[in-house]
Structure 1
Amino acid sequence: MFRLEDLTLFVRAAALNSFSEAAREAGLPPAQVSSAIKRLEKALTIRLFARSTRSLRLTVEGESWLPYATQMLETMHAGLQKIQTPDDDVRGTLQIAVPSDLGRHLLLSVFRDFRQRHPALRLRLLFSDQITDVFKDPVDIAFRYGANGDATYIALPVAPDNRRVLVASPEWLRQHGEPRSLSELARHNALTFMLRGKLHDRWTLMKDGEIHEVNVSGAIMSDDAEVIRRLAIAGEGIAYKSWLDVSDDVNAGRLQPILTQYQGESVPLNMICPHRQQLSPAVRLLYDAVKARCASVQASFAAQSRCN
């Protein structure tokens, strides 16, 4: 008979390619993880990992058994959750990481409404443009822009059709004129964003199925996406932002889309979880609330596109 904790440690060690990382995640000594794997190997009479002083990898047998171990865990957790936690019992502390502008501008009201509906729940909100590591950082879930290229965590689509748009304030456009082509865009002052020390000064747009890249430059750059939006509203230049971040500003007339004959690059929003047991009733209900809010914003983008 397998121990539930041994099975869990095997799946996490396989995902992280490390006994020590799995131990740190579980708050255990590394030797305890090693002992758990040895018990499983003895019960199965196979080797699950090929170990050396420098590397750890699954054996062929380990790779074959991993999906079954994962399925067993998911089935057990689903059954335990069904008998132990009513679906309407939302309590405890939920730690959430969110991109700065998205969190402050769009989702803060969603979080406030959600907590008011579930007063037994505590929220710990981490607003930052740094990419959160859901395995190492103290978070339960993270909302993250971009395609999911990592199969080691769970990614649930929140706004799969979200795109970037070029925007500037009406005052900026009155003073400097609206660019009518990509070559004109390159001559305007661009508000550029930095992430992990890299300056994102090459903007990608599409028209009639053809991809165009524009090298831009400007007098102000920032590693905070909310600062870029505020500067655009203040009339400091042109920004290339997620529609989720600027939709309210466009609808209120504070910002105006430009070069709308071009389609901005895709920036889908996903909710990231380390593993399926993180999908508690609180997480599932919050996911539904955020997805509904984003869907209403995406509907305004579709209406905006039809008008243009």
Structure 2
Amino acid sequence: MARQGLIELEAVLAIAARGSFRAAALDLGLSTTALSNLIGTVERQLGVRLFNRTTRSVSLTDAGRTFVEQVAPALRDIRNAMATARSQGDTPSGTLRINAFATGAREILAPLVLRFLRRHPQVHVDLVTEGRIVDIVAEGFDLGIRTAELVPSDMIAVPLGAPRSFAVVATPSYFAAHGRPRVPPDLLGHHCIRIRLPNGAPYRWHFEKDGSPVQIDVEGPITLDEATLARIAVLDGIGIGFFMEADVRDDIAAGRLERVLQDWTPPTAPLCLYYPGRKNPSAAFRAFVDMARDLGKAAMRRA
């Protein structure tokens, strides 16, 4: 296997992570046929099957699972060694992979990511958004973005700003026609945009005042799982929406939406950039973290 280099090992780990030859081939920039041939070569050299595969599914064999568990840490060390060698120059370059949930990505895209790219044009940022909490090391990410309370304790966290808050909003015309809720239970008499969590469960709107939390299982004409879609529905006058304040800040300032129950939506934990400790980070990694620290300090000064 040494004659072919690391591509076979990368192929095995990619298929194990993605559970699909097609998805892994796309990640590696290979055709499905080429990837299948690579795996066939590895299995012949090892004398054991690594994957059980049918036309509809792919899964690791027991031998394959053991192989992946042993190879993955070694391959990470090799990648880190190669990244360290590449980072000896002073010019940030290469790819930074960042995992974030969608709301957090929207908040940091312009002030951090796009600003960073303008300053360092030789860097490519691969920003992946998803609702689930992932192990950024195991899944090949350099950095993660989550609220402070969701950052794993073994990670280094960089606050990206002041505490955030939720906002309950609707159009002025909706409130003129239906009245304004004064306390959270009033929402049960209103049309609300329901929220579906990544696991498929409905989200109960969370409120708190004077240390007393309240959860409301709202009713309404539509259930959505993406804030940008919910914003469209609210702006169209369908009902009341529940958002991170940053997602509707401009609409509130412009008068397109009005906020209610603000005394029931106190500040919550700030966003954080987080990453595992690194002895020899790349120039791009260092530059991004430094910019994130500056962004967080500037936001705290304005707060």
TM-score range for the pair, normalised by the shorter chain length: 0.5 to 0.7
Asked if 1 retains the 8 angstrom alpha-carbon contact of 2:196 and 2:224, the reply is yes
Change (3 A) 1:28 1:147: closer
- Alignment-derived partner of residue 234 in structure 2: 232
- Alignment-derived partner of residue 75 in structure 2: 27
TM superposition outliers: structure 1 runs of 4+ over 6 Å: 294-300
From 182, 189, 193, the equivalent of 2:191 is 189
Q: CA deviation at 1:147?
A: 0.8
Q: CA deviation at 1:161?
A: 1.1
- Alignment-derived partner of residue 95 in structure 2: 93
Q: How many residues align?
A: 234
CA distance in 2, matches of 1:299, 1:188: 39
Change (3 A) 1:28 1:262: closer
Asked if 2 retains the 8 angstrom alpha-carbon contact of 1:203 and 1:240, the reply is yes
CA distance in 2, matches of 1:28, 1:184: 53
CA distance in 2, matches of 1:153, 1:218: 40
CA RMSD of superposed structures (Å):
3.7
From 122, 129, 141, the equivalent of 1:120 is 122
Structure 1 unaligned runs (5+)?
Answer: 1-17, 33-79, 303-308
| TM-score normalised by L of structure 1 | 0.62
Q: CA deviation at 1:115?
A: 0.9
CA distance in 2, matches of 1:212, 1:248: 27
- Alignment-derived partner of residue 205 in structure 1: 207
CA distance in 1, matches of 2:294, 2:181: 35
Change (3 A) 1:191 1:271: same
Q: CA deviation at 1:134?
A: 0.5
Asked if 2 retains the 8 angstrom alpha-carbon contact of 1:242 and 1:267, the reply is no
Asked if 2 retains the 8 angstrom alpha-carbon contact of 1:95 and 1:140, the reply is yes
| TM-score normalised by L of structure 2 | 0.63
CA distance in 2, matches of 1:22, 1:109: 40
What pairs up with 1:17-56 in 2 under 5 angstroms? 21=69, 23-27=71-75
Q: CA deviation at 1:106?
A: 5.4
Asked if 2 retains the 8 angstrom alpha-carbon contact of 1:156 and 1:272, the reply is yes
Letter in 1 for 2:274: I
Percent of residue pairs identical:
28
